[in-house]
Amino acid sequence: MQSNKKRIRKEFAPLTVANSIRCITPASPVTQIYNGGNGEYEPDRELSPTIILPEVVANATDGSWPNPYSNALLADMHWFVNGKDIATLADWSGKYSIDQVGDTRGAISISKNISPRDAAELHFEANLADNRLGVNIPIKTDKITLSTTEKANDGYSISIGDSPIIQYDPLKDRLRLYEYKVAHGLIAASSSTQNAAKDKCSYLHEVPVTVFNGKTKMTSGYTLRVYRVVNQSSLTLLTSGIDEIHTISTTKVIFDVRLIEKASYIIKAFVANKEVAMVELGFNRIYQDYSCIPTNGTAIHPSDTERYDRAMVDSDGNIVECPGMIFRIVWFTDTISKTGVKHNEGDETVFQLEKTGIGSTYSDDWCDVYCECVYKPAHKTATEGTTVWTDKNGNRYIFN
């Protein structure tokens, strides 16, 4: 006689999904300049389209999701302009196309010029098909704004010596690692080592700024102000040393990227307290794929009362130094009598074996040690009401 059938499924870890939106055409950024003298746009999107990519990254802790870059699996894709589906807008008909293939699936190519009176706030929505679990995960990006600046009659203009979309990878930040090691007594302070760590990958990101009057490079007679883009019609003026602006001068702006997850900014030039030119740029973060494992593989002796372990995080074949600086690592244990026992957060753990519920017989004398490891978000300034907390030297406290 055949027994009743019992269906057993594979059990998959749920996906952790993140998305970003960025312009991938430096020669055709999201901000145009309109020359009223000749009626031309710089650049002209009809000749040099602007391409905006919604990048979707997904990971599963059990390694069952093969490729973190998941645009190729997007379905039911829609772009929205000022909250309306672009496919329903007559003035956008024939002015865009949406990529359907590969890692750039979902990217929109825009050949529409935006008049100086208007702005177009775009965002992307789609579903990510998780065929392992048979579910669709909704995707909705932040907004990115297309705008146009009218060239002033006196010919003022402003340019930056950097990409309009700047990406920050915390795993490549040697300055942050140096400061962490010094603060924790792992190395001695060294000005030469510190200076060598200040490169394009460090959290102190320098953006060179040049202002022109016609073809003449200005060296004085103007000031710069930096604004964070809140939405299509709202900007927030930033203060050097308080917000994510580290320092600002007439030739450069240094951003503290530790305080930025993803944001757009406008740098404006003022002459005699009158705005004469502006340029837009944006920041976002790169979160590389990674794996995390406990490293203590030694046996537990009957006389042991506590257990030590240390996490090892690997990314792209490289061991991450001081991973607790970048990742939130929380330690857990499972035994036959207790599961999901939480211990502490950090690179290392020391816990009492008695707390785990480990037994003394062959069937229960085991203990699984593991950790949950996720990227820490951007830092925030420590405040209470309108008070910004600082140390005795006036340096503000930040946390994440």
pLDDT along the chain (400 residues), means of 10: 67 88 90 81 92 93 87 95 95 95 94 88 94 91 89 76 90 94 93 91 94 90 93 83 90 95 93 90 92 93 93 93 95 94 95 94 92 93 81 79
User: In the prediction, which pLDDT does 4 show?
Assistant: 66
Using CB atoms within 10 A of its CB, is residue 71 exposed (0-12), middle (13-18) or buried (19+)?
buried
pLDDT, residue 6, reads: 66
As a whole number of angstroms, the distance between CA 331 and CA 346 comes to 8
How far is CA 280 from each of CA 29, 166, 169, 298, rounded to the nearest angstrom? 9, 11, 21, 55
Tokens of 361: 């017989």
CA pair distance 30, 338, nearest whole angstrom: 54
Which ranges of 91-188 would DSSP assign to H, the alpha helix? 174-183
Residues 6 or more apart whose CB falls under 8 angstroms from that of 91 comprise 112
Please give the single-letter amino acid code of residue 159. S
In this predicted structure, what is the pLDDT of residue 397?
A: 79
For residues 204 and 85, what is the distance between their CA atoms, to the nearest angstrom?
Answer: 38
Whether the Cβ atoms of residue 266 and residue 238 lie closer than 8 Å to each other: no
pTM, 2 dp:
0.61
pLDDT at position 384: 80
Alpha-carbon distances, residue 90 vs 39, 79, 86, 122, 142 (angstroms): 23, 14, 9, 16, 24
Q: What is the pLDDT of residue 232?
A: 67
The angle formed by the CA atoms of residues 258, 262 and 264, to the nearest 5 degrees, is 110
Closest CA to 174 of 191, 192, 196, 189: 196
The pLDDT of residue 359: 92
The length of the chain is 400
pLDDT at 156 (0 to 100): 87
Q: State the pLDDT at residue 7.
A: 67
Q: What is the pLDDT of residue 174?
A: 95
Return the pLDDT at 37.
67
User: Given CA atoms 196, 199, 205, 209 in this order, what sign does their dihedral have?
Assistant: positive
